[in-house]
Amino acid sequence: MKKYITVITLFLAVLALAACSNTSSSKKETSSDSSQLSSKPKIKGFSYYGDVPQNPKKVVNFAYSYTGYLLKLGIKVSSYSLDLEKDSPAFGDQLKKAKQLTSDDTEAIAAQEPDLIIAFSTDKNLDKLKKIAPVLVIEYASSDYLDMMTHLGKVFGKEDQAQKWLSSWKAKVAKAKKDLSSQLSAQTTFTVMDFYDKNIFLYGNNWGRGGELIYDSLGYKAPEKVQTDVINKDGWFGVSQEVIGDYIGDYAVVNVNQSTKEAAASLKESDVWKNIPAVQKGQVLEVDYNLFYFSDPMSLDKQLPAFVKAVKKANQ
């Protein structure tokens, strides 16, 4: 009998250990699913600090150029840096509950309890941010606007989603080019511009404002002087009202929003502007600065039909 009781006790102990093992394994698997770490792929311009999660639940993002990429990939962004992010028609209400922060707000950032912080390589507070949470640091312009989608897809294990959008974008652009071919030749030139503190600025193919869409995706040209002074140099260039005519191509794409409409109106009233051939032909496309500022997938998807509509309207 004693031997029988011993055997039964031993058997029950084995069952209990197996149950504990299964429970532990189940918990481990569940934990792994929710806190899987990024493979930290080696990408030019990307640096990783700490255990970067593949599926972050709360991202404090200071690299505002990439907000639309994150949202498109289904990554929750819990903070934004610029009003332009919050006010972008492309993002809708996806940042409605997000909190506006700067990287100086270390206490507020810590209070958010983020599982990932994303910042530009030029952020002066990187060392402080690294003490709060894992940090993904991105060097601006280290990748072009389309490659960035692929790169972020790799970091967050969403390569299929990234490639799906890229294929869709390629098809949309081909359709738009065909649609515009009866109105624009392949040699048509565009000048992309906006205003800041009443000053006029021109942009190339890597600073948003529609540059990536027009020069890269659609393949239209920049005037020679824009190519020389803007694209071949810093990518942006400030010009005076007196010489703006030297930089305007067949079309001018003028980014305007509520804060810059007075500066735009002042330029429109000038004799210099009125004597520019593109202006006299009605080939000035005034676009929404809030929509055209970024060059992420969500913004591009809305910029393309807006641009096509503006060109058609100018050629009615």
For residue 297, is it within any domain?
A: yes
Is the per-residue pLDDT at 27 higher than 80?
no
Please check whether residue 116 lies inside any domain of the structure.
yes
Average pLDDT over residues 35-51: 95
**Mean pLDDT throughout 191-200?**
94
Same-domain status, 188 and 141: no
**HEC secondary structure over the chain:** CHHHHHHHHHHHHHHHHHHHHHHHHHHHHHHHHHCCECCCCCCCCEEEECCCECCCCCEEECCHHHHHHHHHCCCCECEECCHHHHHCCCCCCCCCCCEECCCCCHHHHHHHCCCEEEEECCCCCHHHHHCCCCEEEECCCCCCCCHHHHHHHHHCCCHHHHHHHHHHHHHHHHHHHHHHCCCCCCCCEEEEEEEECCEEEEECCCCCCCHHHHHHHCCCECCHHHHHHHHCCCCEEEECHHHHHHHCCCEEEEEECCCCHHHHHHHHCCHHHHCCHHHHCCCEEEEEHHHHCCCCHHHHHHHHHHHHHHHHHHCC
* Single pTM value for the model: 0.88
Mean predicted lDDT score pLDDT of the chain:
91
Pull the structure tokens for residue 124: 């002066």
201 and 289 co-located in one domain: yes
**Long-range contacts from 75-83, C-beta under 8 angstroms, 24+ separation:** 75/156, 78/112, 78/114, 79/109, 79/112, 79/114
Tell me the pLDDT tens digit for each residue of 62-100: 999 999 999 999 999 999 999 999 999 999 999 999 999
Please indicate, yes or no, whether residues 145 and 221 belong to a single structural domain of this protein: no
Domain that holds residue 59: 46-159
Q: What is the pLDDT of residue 10?
A: 41
Using the 3D structure, point to which of 143, 159, 175 is the last residue of a domain. Answer: 159
107 found inside a domain: yes
User: Do 273 and 214 sit in the same domain of this protein?
Assistant: yes
302/192 same-domain check: yes
| pLDDT score recorded for residue 198 | 82
Residues 306 and 211 occupy one common structural domain: yes
In a domain, 21, yes or no: no
Query: How far apart, in Å, do the first and last CA atoms of the chain sit?
Result: 102
pLDDT over 80 (residue 28): no
Q: Does residue 124 belong to any structural domain of this protein?
A: yes
Domain tally, the chain: 2
Q: Does position 20 have pLDDT exceeding 70, yes or no?
A: no
> Is pLDDT at 18 greater than 70 in this prediction?
no
The last residue of a domain, from among 159, 191, 223? 159
Tell me what the mean pLDDT of segment 195-203 comes to.
93
Rounded CA separation 114/70 (Å): 15
Q: Are 187 and 154 within one domain? A: no
Tell me the CATH number at 285.
Answer: 3.40.50.1980
Q: Tell me, yes or no, whether 202 and 145 share the same domain.
A: no
* pLDDT tens sequence across 151-166: 999 999 999 999 999 9
Query: Is the pLDDT score of 25 beyond 60?
Result: no
- Do 89 and 192 fall within a single domain? no
Mean pLDDT of 41-68: 97
Examine residue 137 and state whether it is found in any structural domain, yes or no. yes
Model confidence over 119-146: pLDDT tens digits? 999 999 999 999 999 999 999 999 999 9
The reply to whether 230 and 301 lie within a common domain is yes
Give percent of the chain with pLDDT exceeding 70.
89
Does 4 map to a domain?
A: no
How many percent of the chain have pLDDT more than 90? 88
276 with 208, same domain: the answer is: yes
pLDDT of residue 311: 98
Of 98, 127, 159, the residue that ends a domain is 159
Residue 227 lies in a domain: yes
Residues 148 and 190 in one domain: no
